[in-house]
Structure 1
Amino acid sequence: MFEIAMNKTADKVWENCLKIIKDIVEWQHFKTWFEPINPLELNGNVLLIEVPSQFFFEYLEEHYVTLLAKTLKRELGKTARLEYRILVDSGSKGKNGSMDVPAGNIKFYNNNEMSFPLVINDEVKNPFVIPGIKKMQIDPQLNPAYVFDSFIEGDCNRVARRAGKTVAEKPGASSFNPLVIYGGVGLGKTHLGQSIGNEVKRLHPHKIVLYVSSEKFINQFQDHSRNNAINDFIHFYQLIDVLIIDDVQFFAKAEKSQDALFAIFNHLHQSGKQLVLTSDKPPKDLDGMQERLLSRFRWGLSADLQVPDYETRIEILERKMKNDGLELPKDVVKYVAYNISNNVRELEGAMISLLAQSSLNKREIDLDLAKKVLRNFIRTSSKEITIDAIQKMVCEFFAVPYDKLLQKTRKREIVQARQITMYLAKAFTKNSLKTIGEHFGGRDHTTVIHSCQTVKDLMDTDSLFRENVVELTQKVQLAAM
């Protein structure tokens, strides 16, 4: 059998194998998965071939290992073996692998002395090329308005924002790889993801950055698949230094696109490149995703974005006003911030609607106009403000535990919080003094009267106390609107 092999060359053996394979597999599959293979050398009964990528090899192993085994045995006999070489990044160690054709088992071994460059065919199409610019200068697809300075930090997003800054400063070099940012609609996932990309471009101009939505990624993959150019697609994405993929939950129904993403993820992560992913759910709740992908999503840091609190919403509106050169009455800003609480997108949309109506009607913006314009944004309620609601507002404002408000204590901060709560309850509810007192651990109506008078007296003599009461009064007024 060895003599038979001696009279053949690698090219001839592979050519004969392809003749058999061509009659068995569909023409498109043949063009995609067999024509790109390059026979390198024949050593006895061992044929060495070169495949374009790890993903390419895994696909062959999964779908065509038996066919390869049978065809190679016909050419080189029962002891025939197939070895492969996978093209990897020039900065990485090369890999050789051997495949025992009869058994169909594949074993990896390291070769520290060899390095194989990532070969990009001249015909590889860059889907993000800048017109008139050299092919490999990739348009990062970033919105320059999305930067960290315009992403207001609060308790709702502090971890995610600071992790994003760390990633932007040292892409691929921190433990936050991948960085998975998740949260509901309109909370700033796209803004934060693109902020990372813009900051990387500012700090590391030589880095290749790309932002892509999962929908665009899937559509591109399908186009390349129809054109038998999956390898070109994967090779292109393997060039990226910082890859930002938005809304990865949409991969759930795209099984083959997940295969491509898995290959790209592995290559970039192993090459020290940075991945940033956004999702509407944490990785553990992403149904329909391959477990091997989910396990990789969990390698780095998952950080959530929550609904911004009242103070953060105020700051967001003030920053937007400053950027747009606008000035609105404080009571209007507070009204919008208090009533639009679902997400940042609705908050900004409400402000835009308010400005548009003011301009069209040539009317100054005041609280009445705000109420009229924003009625479509605000959930109306027929419920009156309650004593319980006021108690919770005051406790939150002063950071006082609710149960302390009801206890008999002489601590100044607790006593004042309780007195202000009674004062507001008398002013904004229709409850009797007796009912109000009962909500504070069974106190009588005289205690309520005393508390209300004390608040009035302190407002006349203590400016800080007065400011606190005024601000709380505005909060209750807004809640009652």
Structure 2
Amino acid sequence: MSITAQSVWDNCLEFIKDNIQPQAYKTWFEPIKAVKLTDNALSVQVPSKFFYEWLEEHYVKILKVSLTKELGEKAKLVYIIKMENTYGNKQPFTEKIPSSNRTSVKSQDVDIPLNNKSPELRNPFVIPGIRNVKIESQLNPNYSFENFLEGDSNRLARSAGLAVSAKPGGTSFNPLLVFGGVGLGKTHLAHAIGVDIKDKYPEKTVLYISAEKFTQQYIDAVKKNNRNDFIHFYQIIDVLIIDDVQFFSGKTGTQDVFFHIFNHLHQNGKQVILTSDKAPVDMQDIEQRLLSRFKWGLSAELQTPDFETRVSILKNKLYRDGVEMPEEIVEYVAKNIKTNVRELEGAIISLIAQSSFNKKEITIDLARIIVEKFVKNTKREVSIDYIQKVVSDYFQMDIDTLQSKTRKRHIVQARQLAMFFAKKFTKASLASIGSQIGKRDHATVLHACKTVDNLSSTDKQFRKYVEDITKKLSV
């Protein structure tokens, strides 16, 4: 019986079918057609360029093994891409195949060059028509470690940032994920790390980008058939800073491409810095393989600054702006605006502006008026302490009882409701919620949230509890 392209491919398919999931086989291998066999090269037709890339990224190893079994060590697989003849045939097996002891081959495989690739790499930051080869860092030099004041609320994150900037890619903090609520300084710290690295290592390519902009660039790259250029561009970065990675939630294409970029950078000793409004354990609709990589390095939380830190932040702001202000006024503002640094600085700017425009002296009375207006016009961020107070009052118990170890049903339910609303109304991590509500762990908080969801759909009285407390917290 003579060997044909079809018979070789059928034998390969039998081997592949035995070694992967049925659905994956149906999706990625059934559409492939054997075209011709020339010596030790099998040509197959695939439906699209994306299809080819996916095979190379996910199944290159099993393809190599199956084809070697049929055609020997010199076996080659040539892709013919239907409807995309301008790209020519692709010969991935002329590339280095990762050794069998590697657990993942995905990040390596996206490096396969395309025959049509121009020598000049497309830079997604370059405006069309303007020639610019240099990669700008997109960093804001005003955000530095000097004006990112240290306190108990940010000491871990700031110290980790300094360690990373001293030795990018050379610490165990890779990736460094900084997370916390709105206005606590995540973006400031991310920029500060980048700025410090640029100062110490001017030869390194540092790039800051928001997750939203990264996603838009990826969409544009797919539309323009530049996906590989997009990947290659990000793989040459030495220090990649991505702000608000929670924006990737639900965006599977963006997550997939970032997964490959991340793997390449990490394996090549490059530094990745991420910010998020949530801890990895609390992120929704992010693929597990990506979340597991977020946890490889250090996740450092930025918490609400304490009173002393808030005073220091205000004094530093006034010093930088060359403004003098009485101590009692600084302390009054710090005492009454607790939610975040952005609101704190906003209030002091408003106070200075009012004094300047109306030619009024900065007094405690003026500060009181400004702070009251500012707090009223700023969306209130519900705190975990406030939630515990509302729930305790609703069930007519004190907060100590709510936090106690007792297993009495009505107290347990009140505690579970407090945890549920803390997760719903705050940006705190599950671990942070648990520690503040009776020193529980994150698994207890997760269980509480599921219990509240279940009881809300089955118990009419319990559903009324949820509705009543929601109204009180939403006022």
Q: By the TM > 0.5 criterion, same fold? A: yes
1:286 counterpart residue number: 283
Is 1:82 matched with 2:77?
yes
CA-CA distance at 1:63 after TM superposition: 9.1
Is 1:170 matched with 2:167?
yes
Select the residue among 113, 120, 124 that pairs with 2:121: 124
2:272 counterpart residue number: 275
Is 1:370 matched with 2:394?
no
Determine the C-alpha separation between the residues in 2 that align with 1:87 and 1:280. Answer: 42
- Within a 5 Å distance, the mapping from 1:369-388 to structure 2 comes to 369-378=366-375
2:467 counterpart residue number: none
CA-CA distance at 1:254 after TM superposition: 1.1
1:355 counterpart residue number: 352
Deviation string 1:163-210 (CA, Å, 9 cap, x unpaired) is 000001100011000000000000000000000000000000000000
Is 1:305 matched with 2:306?
no
Deviation string 1:111-155 (CA, Å, 9 cap, x unpaired) is 9xxx99999733532122499997442110000100000000000
Select the residue among 34, 45, 51 that pairs with 2:40: 45
SS at match of 1:125: coil
Determine the C-alpha separation between the residues in 1 that align with 2:310 and 2:104. Answer: 57
Whether contact under 8 Å (2:333, 2:344) holds in the other structure is yes
SS at match of 1:268: helix
Which residue identity is paired with 1:244? I
Select the residue among 233, 242, 254 that pairs with 1:257: 254
Is 1:60 matched with 2:55?
yes
Whether contact under 8 Å (1:248, 1:277) holds in the other structure is yes
Is 1:142 matched with 2:142?
no
Is 1:206 matched with 2:182?
no
Which residue identity is paired with 2:77? L
Whether contact under 8 Å (1:184, 1:305) holds in the other structure is yes
For structure 2, the 5+ residue unaligned runs are 6-31, 45-49, 79-89, 378-475
1:330 counterpart residue number: 327
Whether contact under 8 Å (1:130, 1:137) holds in the other structure is no
Deviation string 1:268-292 (CA, Å, 9 cap, x unpaired) is 0011000000000111111100000
- Within a 5 Å distance, the mapping from 1:428-447 to structure 2 comes to none
Say if 1:335 and 1:197 are closer, same or farther in 2 by CA, change over 3 A.
Answer: same
1:183 counterpart residue number: 180
Deviation string 1:2-60 (CA, Å, 9 cap, x unpaired) is 9989xxxxxxxxxxxxxxxxxxxxxxxxxxxx9xxxxxxx98324599xxxxx997612
Select the residue among 336, 339, 355 that pairs with 1:339: 336
RMSD: 4.1
Whether contact under 8 Å (2:77, 2:92) holds in the other structure is no
Which residue identity is paired with 1:172? G
Deviation string 1:280-313 (CA, Å, 9 cap, x unpaired) is 0111111100000001001000000000000000
Is 1:227 matched with 2:243?
no
For structure 1, the 5+ residue unaligned runs are 6-33, 35-41, 50-54, 89-93, 100-105, 381-481
Say if 1:266 and 1:210 are closer, same or farther in 2 by CA, change over 3 A.
Answer: same
Say if 1:157 and 1:201 are closer, same or farther in 2 by CA, change over 3 A.
Answer: same
Determine the C-alpha separation between the residues in 2 that align with 1:298 and 1:107. Answer: 17
SS at match of 1:272: coil
Which residue identity is paired with 1:161? R
CA-CA distance at 1:372 after TM superposition: 1.1
TM-score by length of 1: 0.59
The size of the alignment, in residue pairs, is 318
Which residue identity is paired with 1:178? P
Determine the C-alpha separation between the residues in 1 that align with 2:331 and 2:134. Answer: 46
Deviation string 1:344-369 (CA, Å, 9 cap, x unpaired) is 00000001111111111111111011
Say if 1:190 and 1:359 are closer, same or farther in 2 by CA, change over 3 A.
Answer: same
Determine the C-alpha separation between the residues in 2 that align with 1:107 and 1:272. Answer: 17
2:96 counterpart residue number: 95
Select the residue among 176, 187, 193 that pairs with 1:196: 193
Select the residue among 235, 239, 256 that pairs with 1:238: 235
SS at match of 2:152: coil
Say if 1:86 and 1:213 are closer, same or farther in 2 by CA, change over 3 A.
Answer: farther
Determine the C-alpha separation between the residues in 2 that align with 1:143 and 1:56. Answer: 39
CA-CA distance at 1:86 after TM superposition: 6.1
SS at match of 2:273: strand
Whether contact under 8 Å (1:214, 1:251) holds in the other structure is yes
Deviation string 1:236-263 (CA, Å, 9 cap, x unpaired) is 1011000000000010021100011001
> Who wins on radius of gyration, i.e. which is larger?
1
Determine the C-alpha separation between the residues in 1 that align with 2:114 and 2:149. Answer: 41
CA-CA distance at 1:87 after TM superposition: 11
Which residue identity is paired with 1:278? T
Determine the C-alpha separation between the residues in 2 that align with 1:301 and 1:322. Answer: 33
TM-score by length of 2: 0.59
Determine the C-alpha separation between the residues in 2 that align with 1:47 and 1:135. Answer: 42
Determine the C-alpha separation between the residues in 2 that align with 1:348 and 1:98. Answer: 55
